[in-house]
């Protein structure tokens, strides 16, 4: 991580702006879409590139074209994982990028050149931003069991079908056995591979694959895809899901939302810092949710929402509800739940600064007082003009 930061600091300023989390995610998604589009286009109409065509067998070209679309969809999954800051998404993407470049080359088409170039360009950018994707993937026991059941049934069907291949019409290779298992489990059943009518073992085995396969697919769809559907619904309602809350660690907890905290939230978002807003304002919650900002709709002075927001694992707590009395109550609750966490509060009325400190805040800032000092220094010719210009330009 230190090496990556050092390399980024040596780059020109324009390049440093490119090396952001959003840029890495955008590149991964662009490669994914380009991989799918290139594969489909080359399968359909693109003629082979004649200088390379004699050196790459047709079967390799066809395989690269068909698998290119699959790799593209896998890259989409990786990009979505990157968007959540997951380390597994980074590993998945960094391993797939050389594969998409190789597939583009093996497709032997001039239309694959953009895919090859973009894949190769994305690798160093993703490598230099690797420290931005450090979250671990947290799966529940039920999700792990559902995934294991799905993989186990496919392995059972493939091994069993290949072992009984003499009792089936159409199974000669392990690929045939896996194909039979997959279409049987998914209830597609094309009918091109069937058990011999005289083989009881093959028919019983097919029945077991059908029952176990359908059950495992249904279980996996409900357990693995259910949380994603729940996340989309709850995100529309402005509520964080339990799975999202479980991933919180070393984050900033913003208690309250209003004119005072709005620029703070924008600053945290611009710096890719993980944070959560807890507010009882329904309109504010809806607005934050529309901008993909994590928010919990609850009273910030209650203990339950602070526990859900993992206040014990927060790196800092910012209290600014626009009401000093509410701030004091919120600080008391936060200090009780997280005795060692640094708490910063914003006093609406500068006369309440000492009161908020006595309530448990480590640092209390009065925006009115700071603004007054800056304005006076500016009038008297102080050297804070750069800071003032920055503040005014952000308005």
**pLDDT at 18 (0 to 100):** 47
What CA–CA distance (Å, rounded) separates 265 from 256?
Answer: 11
Considering the chain, what is the average pLDDT of its residues?
81
User: How far is the C-alpha of 165 from the C-alpha of 39, rounded, in Å?
Assistant: 33
List, for residues 328-337, the tens digit of each pLDDT value: 999 999 999 9
> pTM (2 decimals)?
0.50
In this prediction, residue 395 carries a pLDDT of 45
For residue range 17-31, what is the model confidence (pLDDT) as tens digits?
Answer: 445 777 888 899 999
Strand partners, 252: 275, 316
Q: What is the sign, positive or negative, of the torsion defined by CA atoms of 314, 315, 319, 325?
A: positive
Residues near 66 by Cβ (< 8 Å), separated by ≥ 6? Answer: 39, 43
Residue 342: φ, ψ to 5°: -75, 125
Domains of the chain: residue spans and CATH: 2-132 (no CATH), 141-236 (1.10.287.70), 242-363 (3.40.50.720)
Q: Is the pLDDT of residue 371 over 70?
A: no
**Which run of H or of E encompasses 168?**
strand 168-169
Q: Pick the closest to residue 133 from 254, 23, 8, 234 (CA basis).
A: 23
Instruction: Name which of 195, 159, 191 is nearest 177 in CA terms.
Output: 159
Report whether 126 contacts 94 (CB < 8 A): yes
pLDDT at 209 over 60: yes
pLDDT, tens digit (0-9, with 9 covering 90-100), for 65-87: 888 888 999 999 898 888 878 88
* Predicted confidence (pLDDT) per residue in 39-52, tens digit: 888 876 656 666 77
Least Cα distance to 256 among 232, 288, 234 occurs for: 288
pLDDT at 87: 87
User: What are the CA-CA distances from residue 95 to residues 89, 99, 106, 135 (Å)?
Assistant: 10, 7, 17, 18
Structural contact between residues 350 and 325, judged by C-beta atoms closer than 8 angstroms: no
């Amino acid at each position: 991580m230190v090496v990556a930061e050092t390399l980024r600091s040596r780059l020109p300023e324009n390049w440093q702006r490119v090396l952001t989390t959003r840029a890495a995610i955008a590149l991964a998604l662009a490669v994914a879409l380009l991989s799918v589009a290139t594969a489909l286009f080359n399968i359909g109409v693109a003629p082979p590139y004649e200088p390379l065509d004699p050196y790459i067998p047709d079967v390799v070209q066809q395989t690269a074209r068909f698998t290119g679309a699959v790799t593209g969809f896998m890259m989409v999954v990786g990009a979505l994982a990157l968007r959540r800051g997951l380390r597994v998404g980074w590993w998945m993407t960094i391993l797939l990028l050389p594969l998409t470049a190789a597939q583009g080359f093996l497709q032997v088409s001039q239309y694959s050149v953009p895919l090859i170039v973009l894949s190769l360009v994305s690798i160093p950018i993703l490598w230099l931003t690797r420290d931005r994707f450090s979250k671990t993937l947290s799966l529940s026991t039920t999700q792990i069991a559902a995934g294991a059941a799905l993989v186990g049934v496919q392995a059972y069907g493939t091994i069993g079908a290949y072992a009984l291949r003499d009792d089936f019409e159409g199974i000669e290779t392990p690929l045939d056995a896996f194909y039979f298992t997959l279409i049987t489990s998914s209830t597609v059943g094309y009918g091109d591979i069937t058990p011999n009518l005289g083989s009881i073992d093959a028919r019983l085995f097919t029945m077991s694959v059908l029952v176990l396969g359908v059950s495992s697919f249904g279980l996996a769809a409900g357990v693995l895809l259910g949380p994603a559907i729940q996340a989309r619904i709850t995100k529309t309602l402005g509520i964080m899901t339990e799975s999202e809350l479980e991933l919180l660690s070393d984050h900033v907890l913003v208690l309250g939302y209003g004119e005072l905290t709005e620029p703070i939230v924008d600053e945290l978002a611009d710096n890719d810092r993980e944070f959560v807003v807890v507010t009882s304002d329904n309109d504010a919650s809806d607005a934050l949710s529309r901008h993909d900002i994590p928010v919990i709709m609850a009273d910030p002075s209650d203990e339950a929402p602070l526990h859900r927001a993992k206040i014990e694992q927060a790196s800092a707590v910012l209290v600014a509800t626009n009401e000093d009395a509410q701030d004091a109550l919120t600080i008391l609750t936060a200090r009780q739940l997280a005795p060692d966490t640094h708490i910063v509060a914003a006093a609406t009325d500068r006369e309440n600064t000492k009161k908020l400190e006595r309530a448990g805040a480590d640092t209390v800032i009065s925006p009115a007082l700071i603004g007054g000092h800056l304005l006076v220094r500016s009038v008297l010719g102080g050297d804070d003009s750069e800071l003032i210009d920055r503040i005014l330009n952000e308005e």
